[in-house]
């Protein structure tokens, strides 16, 4: 695929053109808290050396709550009404590689047995242009799970910030190529300019653990006192799962319903909440935080890998940065690695 140079000014012009075409453009908010659909290019916040936002962008693909269908009883029976179709095209601009990489991870789970047409439509309608990352802190561990600050998984194109403030644009997929062909007036050909991407002056996060070794330990130690130590301090608040770009637990419930009508909704849930596995009988197979936190780790670093041959984590460190009691998932992996 081709490489180009795009100036910061031309990114703004491109974004305003994309907005005029009726697309949504989503970028990290200037506050660094979340991702926003912007109304104008002046709201763009593309910064390669910023900390990952507190919230990931997964809710643009897998919303906190969404209707699956509505139902209404009439004299002739029950009428089902489809939820609104997902038509809007969206450009994601400036996502970190650890955010973009979460999309193919989620896609596997949403297409494993049942194909989730809502999720798939949103992915189909999206172009993801990520930004090579120039940030790392004690909580980042992308390099321990096979990713990096320039990993291309989930990206249709990747920007690399240049010293002069322009960006090197590397096209990754056919979809990315098709998209940028529509805006070629804003791109300069790198071959003509003889430009190359500038290598980052910031170090990659250190490799903290060997995932193969961690997996071996998890395979053999479902029952271990180590889990009790974690469960004793975990508050069971679910923050870690809600901010995580790859966590995907949900419930399906009827809302706003009475005898005659209602809506069937898909809502985020969390394996860290005590009600998540509670049966109607009152029995709860995960009846304590030790079992619930063990489930989180086992799902991410063992069960998902057993099924899909990769981990359910991109090493972004969000869950740790936000945890009220300092439970550090990368640190847990390091400790397991040392057993």
Considering the complex, what minimum distance in angstroms separates the CB of residue 174 from ligand SF4? Answer: 27
Considering the complex, what minimum distance in angstroms separates the CB of residue 17 from ligand SF4? Answer: 33
Considering the complex, what minimum distance in angstroms separates the CB of residue 97 from ligand SF4? Answer: 12
Considering the complex, what minimum distance in angstroms separates the CB of residue 22 from ligand SF4? Answer: 32
| Those residues with Cβ within 8 angstroms of residue 51's Cβ, 6 or more apart along the chain or in another chain | 32, 135, 137, 321
Considering the complex, what minimum distance in angstroms separates the CB of residue 111 from ligand SF4? Answer: 19
Q: What angle do CA 1, 41, 104 make, to 5 degrees?
A: 45
Residue ranges in contact with ligand SF4 by CB under 6 A:
234-240, 243-246, 272, 300, 313-319, 323-325, 327, 329
Distances (CA, A) of 318 to 52, 98, 141, 311: 7, 10, 11, 16
Considering the complex, what minimum distance in angstroms separates the CB of residue 205 from ligand SF4? Answer: 11
> In this complex, which beta carbon is closest to ligand SF4, that of residue 44 or of residue 240?
240
Distances (CA, A) of 190 to 164, 171, 194, 195: 15, 12, 5, 5
Q: At what angle do helices 329-338 and 225-233 cross, to 10 degrees?
A: 160
Q: At what angle do helices 225-233 and 289-298 cross, to 10 degrees?
A: 110
Phi then psi for 328, rounded to 5 degrees?
-110, 105
> In this complex, which beta carbon is closest to ligand SF4, that of residue 158 or of residue 329?
329
> In this complex, which beta carbon is closest to ligand SF4, that of residue 9 or of residue 137?
137
Q: Give me the residue label for tokens 């899909």.
A: 308
Considering the complex, what minimum distance in angstroms separates the CB of residue 208 from ligand SF4? Answer: 11
> In this complex, which beta carbon is closest to ligand SF4, that of residue 36 or of residue 272?
272
> In this complex, which beta carbon is closest to ligand SF4, that of residue 153 or of residue 272?
272
Per the CB < 8 A criterion, the answer to whether 170 and 160 are in contact is yes
Per the CB < 8 A criterion, the answer to whether 141 and 317 are in contact is yes
> In this complex, which beta carbon is closest to ligand SF4, that of residue 266 or of residue 294?
294
> In this complex, which beta carbon is closest to ligand SF4, that of residue 150 or of residue 300?
300
Q: Give me the residue label for tokens 């909580």.
A: 139
Per the CB < 8 A criterion, the answer to whether 185 and 18 are in contact is no
């Amino acid at each position: 695929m081709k490489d180009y140079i795009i100036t910061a000014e031309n990114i703004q012009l491109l974004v305003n053109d994309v907005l005029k075409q009726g697309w949504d453009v989503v970028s990290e908010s200037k506050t660094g808290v979340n991702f926003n659909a912007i109304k104008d290019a002046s709201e763009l916040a593309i910064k390669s050396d910023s900390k990952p936002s507190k919230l990931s962008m997964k809710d643009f693909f897998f919303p906190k709550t969404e209707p699956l269908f509505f139902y209404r009883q009439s004299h002739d029976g029950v009428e089902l009404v489809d939820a609104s179709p997902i038509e809007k095209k969206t450009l994601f601009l400036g996502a970190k590689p650890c955010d973009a990489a979460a999309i193919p991870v989620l896609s596997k789970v949403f297409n494993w047995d049942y194909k989730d047409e809502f999720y798939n439509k949103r992915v189909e309608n999206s172009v993801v242009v990520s930004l090579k990352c120039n940030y790392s802190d004690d909580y980042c561990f992308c390099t321990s799970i096979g990713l990096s600050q320039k990993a291309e998984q989930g990206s249709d194109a990747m920007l690399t910030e240049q010293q002069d403030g322009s960006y090197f644009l590397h096209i990754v997929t056919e979809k990315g190529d098709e998209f940028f062909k529509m805006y070629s007036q804003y791109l300069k050909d790198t071959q003509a300019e003889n430009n190359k991407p500038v290598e980052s002056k910031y170090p990659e996060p250190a490799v903290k653990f060997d995932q193969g070794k961690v997996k071996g330990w998890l395979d053999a130690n479902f029952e271990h006192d180590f889990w009790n130590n974690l469960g004793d301090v975990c508050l069971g608040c679910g923050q870690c799962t809600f901010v995580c770009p790859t966590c995907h637990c949900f419930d399906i419930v009827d809302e706003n319903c009475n005898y005659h009508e209602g809506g069937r909704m898909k809502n985020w849930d969390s394996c860290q909440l005590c009600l998540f596995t509670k049966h109607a009988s009152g029995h709860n197979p995960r009846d304590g935080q030790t079992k619930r936190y063990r489930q989180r780790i086992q799902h991410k670093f063992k069960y998902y890998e057993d099924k899909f041959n990769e981990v359910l984590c991109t090493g972004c460190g969000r869950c740790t940065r936000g945890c009220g009691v300092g439970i550090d998932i990368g640190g847990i992996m390091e400790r397991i690695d040392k057993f």
